[in-house]
Amino acid sequence: MRVAYVATCAGARRLAGQIQMPVAKISTCRAGRLTRRLHEQSDDAYGAGYMCHGEVVIEPGWDSWDAVLLRPVVSPSPGSPVTVGPRSIQIALPNVMSEAQFDELWDAETRLAAIDVWAKTEGGRSQLKKVGADPARVRRRTVYQIDAEPRISATRELCVYRLTQDTDRLVQIAERIILRVLALI
């Protein structure tokens, strides 16, 4: 079982206002771990940084992540291994699929809506120019304090996410992944 979720924080909401595009973190975790995963993201201040003149600038507001209330318009398909709860999507994986395999396929699909990818498109560049937003601020970083030397990683799960439309898209992605693995499509 995998749990997909959409999370936001004050920093992500502020970034969304600056670029005038809805932004949220879209990811997965093991069943029963969502609350802990949100605490981990908060502890890491996921996405708090961006690069400016070769240095990481850390912004406030990225240290308190919460799962958003999901608002599906359409229910999952009849007989679907996907169910939608108030703040997560539960995905029952077939026996022939590992959690890692699902996550890899999920990330590839949701990455298509990632804000750093969007910012490189003609539409993204045009939008950022129109609103006067610095493209570097869209390419977020997370500083992980693992050892004496922190690890700076690009954030890859911050995506354009519309509350009223995109829950259905996430359900469809999960269903499609499973159908492909089972060779039913």
In a domain, 24, yes or no: yes
Q: Beta strands 158-160 and 66-67: pairing type?
A: unpaired
Q: Phi/psi of residue 136, each to 5°?
A: -65, -30
DSSP code for 180? H
Q: Where are the alpha helices (DSSP H) in the chain?
A: 10-19, 34-44, 99-110, 115-118, 122-131, 166-181
Please give the residue range of the domain that contains residue 77.
2-47+59-133+156-181
In a domain, 149, yes or no: no
In a domain, 141, yes or no: no
pLDDT digits (tens, 9 = 90+) for 52-98: 999 999 999 999 999 999 999 988 989 999 999 999 999 999 999 99
Q: What pLDDT does residue 147 have?
A: 79
Q: Are 71 and 163 in contact (CB under 8 A)?
A: yes
Predicted confidence (pLDDT) at residue 164 exceeds the cutoff of 90: no
Round to the nearest angstrom and report the end-to-end CA distance of the chain. Answer: 21
Q: What is the distance between the alpha carbons of residues 61 and 140, in angstroms, rounded to a whole number?
A: 13
Count of domains observed in the chain? 1
Under the banding of pLDDT at 50, 70 and 90, the label for residue 11 is very high
Q: What pLDDT does residue 149 have?
A: 86
In a domain, 52, yes or no: no
In a domain, 143, yes or no: no
Q: What pLDDT does residue 185 have?
A: 73
